Amino acid sequence: MTQRIEDYALIGDCETAALVGRNGSIDWLCWPAFDSDACFAAILGTHRNGRWLVAPAEDVTATSRRYLGDTLILETRFETKSGTVALIDFMPPRGKASDIVRLVRGVSGTVKMRMELVIRFGFGVDIPWVRRIDHSLLAICGQDMTVLRTPVETRGEDLTTVSDFEVRAGESIPFVLTYGPSHLDPPEPIDPEVALQETETFWKDWCRQCTRNGDYHDLIVRSLITLKALTFGPTGGIVAAPTTSLPEKLGGSRNWDYRFCWLRDATFTLLALMNSGYTEEASAWHNWLLRAAAGSPSNMQIMYGIWGQRRLLEWEAGWLAGYEGAQPVRIGNAAHAQLQLDVYGELIDAFHQSRMARLKLDEESWALECAVLNHLAEVWDRPDHGIWERRGQPRHYVFSKVMTWVAFDRGIKSAETFGFKAPLLHWCTLREAIHRDVCNNGFDAEENAFVESYGAKLLDASVLLLPAVGFLPAEDPRISGTIAAVERCLMRDGFVLRHDPRELAAGQPPLEGAFLACTLWLADACVLSGDLDKAQVLFDRVVGVANDVGLLAEEYDSVARRQTGNFPQALTHIALVNTAHNLSAARQKSEKPAMQRSKQ
């Protein structure tokens, strides 16, 4: 039976991540990196597409789980009539190899257990050659190799490695699965108990760097741990999610690969990290941005691979049935080739915010920014595909135009604040022209709101960000009108849709669930306009749909009451951190960080 998306928890080693179900099955893992082929893909198909199950062999009467303190170490407790067992899952910080450790610990009584390991490389289709060497079980297929080490007896059964064993109170039985390239010798074994201690120390030491105490501390820390887990350690790039093709609408076709790094999230990511005390991670993200965007500005993309790769070719894995039958399953993302003008503003704003936070920037940063702005001066008035990567004809999207304004505004502020050489008169002229263009063509007087695109009557939740980026103050009647219009037209069951449902035929259900980050953007807009009570209600509503271990997907289906979309979603957790900061700062009557992007 398919697990709900919210029934999964995350473990990872800051180079890849796995999803562990409440039933004790690891149903998703790309090895050795986020963008590698999956060797466990059951979440997008069946158990025959790869999974690793460790669970009681008898009926389970109750299941509970938690992360062990401020760590990414997951404990799942299974209660049976015979006793209780704790399954501890984690991935140690990456050493010479990547490991998954599963410790089966007896809590009470004696419990019969079952282990089933189905390794299917190549996104669930390639069956490995399995052989036993000494006390290890090697699985090899092409370039990939895994090594299973455990003291319990295993056997082959229907192309599956299985083990039936018992665990008594006080006992601990380890399973360690390690990845390595198949042309090398098998990786050396690790001590699972030592690895547990080292992993706990790693996460607790990292969490102690958090400078935010008081309001929402636990929520912020769990989201920051999630962001750290989605960070590719060698480069500092942050993937949007560790998964592909978890559907935005259950049973639908809006299924995309999110295992890449989006420029769209750049500034909000920096603010979430910097305002929480993580300047090292913020600097690493900034440096990744600088390397990824290097080269001709005309070739700048909306997203890149974790190493900065540019060709993210999209194809379909037709052998996978899809999550609850949602097809197609897409690998790669064709949107990487779209023109999205908003990314130029995100990049320049991210660099400006980094300077204002006194992060040490590369000497080439300003030269790159000038080149980007020179190019933007030539293309800002072109239609594009917008922040939501619409796969139709390009339009003059309002938010895209606003972000080109942000690009010149932040360039001007950086030059004036830090004494950089720049064509200020030209940039100021462009900034004023773009502002005038947006106000004349992007604001609809009848709707009393900024709309999705020039000449449109429909709304788009991205316009909620206009006061946050400083385009207009929150008290401007056009902004208050826009907020009211969003609440009137884009709200469903208290959550914000990113697309206007009026674009659909009467009676047709929405294309997707409510977009959780957009709901938090509305909360931020309410903070800026002084309505803290409404902001608090919106924030609490989003927090209320997090799963039992504090994780959030991209969207929420308020009818089915289920999380939808790729999981866990970096943008959602980034927005949660920033809104928590904003609410806390507003109640302390501080301008930081709620006013940070708009006034610096």
| Beta pairing partners, 9 | 20
- Whichever domain contains 42, its CATH number is 2.70.98.40
What is residue 596's predicted lDDT score, i.e. its pLDDT? 60
User: Looking at the structure, do residues 69 and 131 belong to the same domain, yes or no?
Assistant: yes
What is residue 512's predicted lDDT score, i.e. its pLDDT? 86
What is residue 325's predicted lDDT score, i.e. its pLDDT? 96
Domain boundary among 196, 230, 247: 196
User: Looking at the structure, do residues 233 and 339 belong to the same domain, yes or no?
Assistant: yes
Residue 173 parent element (H or E): strand 172-181
Does residue 507 fall inside a structural domain?
yes
Comparing CA positions, the residue from 179, 12, 40, 53 lying closest to residue 123 is 40
User: Looking at the structure, do residues 354 and 478 belong to the same domain, yes or no?
Assistant: yes
Comparing CA positions, the residue from 252, 238, 259 lying closest to residue 332 is 259
Domain span holding position 82:
5-183+190-196
Does residue 132 fall inside a structural domain?
yes
Q: CA 422 to CA 438: how far, in whole Å? A: 24
Q: CA 411 to CA 395: how far, in whole Å? A: 25
Q: CA 98 to CA 595: how far, in whole Å? A: 42
Q: Mean pLDDT by 10-residue block, N- to C-terminus, for the chain (600 residues)?
A: 93 98 98 98 98 97 98 98 98 95 98 98 96 92 97 95 97 98 95 98 96 85 96 95 97 94 86 90 89 86 92 95 97 88 92 89 86 96 90 91 97 95 97 98 96 95 96 96 97 94 72 92 96 97 97 96 97 95 84 59
Under DSSP, the state recorded for 44 is: G
Residue with structure tokens 């398919």? 2
Does residue 402 fall inside a structural domain?
yes
Q: CA 66 to CA 89: how far, in whole Å? A: 11
User: What's the sign of the alpha-carbon dihedral 398, 305, 258, 411?
Assistant: negative
Does residue 290 fall inside a structural domain?
yes
Does residue 143 fall inside a structural domain?
yes
User: Looking at the structure, do residues 148 and 227 belong to the same domain, yes or no?
Assistant: no
User: Looking at the structure, do residues 261 and 346 belong to the same domain, yes or no?
Assistant: yes
Give yes or no for a contact between 244 and 329, defined as CB atoms under 8 angstroms apart: yes
**At a CB cut-off of 8 Å and minimum separation 6, what does 590 contact?**
none
User: Looking at the structure, do residues 473 and 326 belong to the same domain, yes or no?
Assistant: yes
User: Looking at the structure, do residues 371 and 405 belong to the same domain, yes or no?
Assistant: yes
- Whichever domain contains 313, its CATH number is 1.50.10.10
The model carries a pTM of 0.96
Does residue 34 fall inside a structural domain?
yes
User: Looking at the structure, do residues 214 and 176 belong to the same domain, yes or no?
Assistant: no
Starting at the edge strand found earlier in the chain, the sheet holding 555-557 runs: 514-515, 555-557, 562-564
Q: Helices then strands (H, E): number in the chain?
A: 14, 28
DSSP states of 57-118 as a string?
SS--SEEEEEE-SSSS-EEEEEEETTEEEEEEEE-PPPSSSEEEEEEEEEEEEEEEEEEEEE
Give yes or no for a contact between 28 and 243, defined as CB atoms under 8 angstroms apart: yes
Contacts 24+ apart (CB under 8 A), 487-494: 487/522, 489/459, 490/459, 490/461, 490/518, 492/558, 493/558, 493/559, 494/538, 494/541, 494/558
Residue 378 tokens read as 């030539």
Does residue 202 fall inside a structural domain?
no
User: Looking at the structure, do residues 253 and 355 belong to the same domain, yes or no?
Assistant: yes
Q: Number of folded domains in the chain?
A: 2
User: Looking at the structure, do residues 349 and 240 belong to the same domain, yes or no?
Assistant: yes
What is residue 302's predicted lDDT score, i.e. its pLDDT? 86
Q: CA 58 to CA 165: how far, in whole Å? A: 12
Does residue 201 fall inside a structural domain?
no
What is residue 99's predicted lDDT score, i.e. its pLDDT? 98
What is residue 460's predicted lDDT score, i.e. its pLDDT? 94
User: Looking at the structure, do residues 130 and 214 belong to the same domain, yes or no?
Assistant: no
What is residue 290's predicted lDDT score, i.e. its pLDDT? 85
User: Looking at the structure, do residues 255 and 327 belong to the same domain, yes or no?
Assistant: yes
What is residue 330's predicted lDDT score, i.e. its pLDDT? 98
φ, ψ at 26 (rounded to 5°) = -85, 110
Comparing CA positions, the residue from 43, 10, 513, 20 lying closest to residue 246 is 43
Domain boundary among 138, 170, 196: 196
Give yes or no for a contact between 261 and 292, defined as CB atoms under 8 angstroms apart: yes
